[in-house]
Amino acid sequence: MTSLQAAFAAAKAEGRAALIGYLPAGFPTVDAGIAAIEVMVEAGVDIVEVGLPYTDPLMDGPTIQAAVEAALRAGITTADVLRTVEASARTGAASLLMSYWNPLEHYGVAEVTKALVAGGAAGVITPDLIPDEAGPWIEATDAVGLDRVFLVAPSSTDARIDLTAKASTGFVYAASTMGVTGARSSVSNRAEELVARVRRFTDRPVAVGLGVSTGAQAAEVARFADGVIVGSALVRCLLDARTPDEGLEALQTLAAELAAGVRGDTSAT
């Protein structure tokens, strides 16, 4: 059992969904980003997604794009990203890299998978890579025991969901809405239907992302999903802060609210 699979199993044993938090590496700085991850985990995040900043983030909404662009302007490198993933793994949370395919291919699939495993990473989410075009990636991740996470959407056919579920070894990422990432006032009512469709083809965990921003929404998604993914709302805590300390305080508050939500306690939301 990998550390990612163990995180889902531990949450299930507690009768709840796992909380998955995303932050891009290098924002506001590399070291400040690592400190933010540490705060997030201390507040109750079970699984961390570390984003690899990329110049053409097709699926990222304006909040994440702004943070990614700041990291790129500051000169973030792949080595910095790998260091961030390693630091995230040291917190004890299952830690994933989230990356578009081009940077992984450019770095070298064998090289990046080996580096990730050496740093304690649990797996990789590849939002723009589909399983039927992922032969070299599947081979490389299998070789080192790194979990793969592919995405499905409400528009996915049953055949596509089946293929994606079979190729995913960590969990299946169910994108609850069509379009780019971003916090929303409500979670798509298609999310529950999508999770049910995925479960027809796999017994692996299914986690829902795109739109969750409050503890109440986290609790809503946790009723039917194995994992609740939050990205833009957490990034916004750092993006809107006047000072680094203020950003960490806001991040801690929101992460704790979300953690309470997946545990069924929405009294503070």
Residues annotated as catalytic (active site), given as ranges: 49, 60
Q: Which two tokens stand for residue 229?
A: 């993914």
From CA 124, how far away is CA 107, in angstroms rounded?
14
Residue type at position 63: T
From CA 177, how far away is CA 180, in angstroms rounded?
8
113, 119, 107, 118: which is closest to 78 by C-alpha?
107
- Using alpha carbons, list the distances in angstroms from residue 149 to 77, 125, 128, 164, 249: 23, 5, 11, 9, 31
Cβ–Cβ under 8 Å, residues 107 and 113 = no
Residue type at position 153: A
206-209 sheet: strands from edge to edge: 147-149, 123-125, 94-98, 47-51, 18-24, 227-230, 206-209, 172-175, 151-152
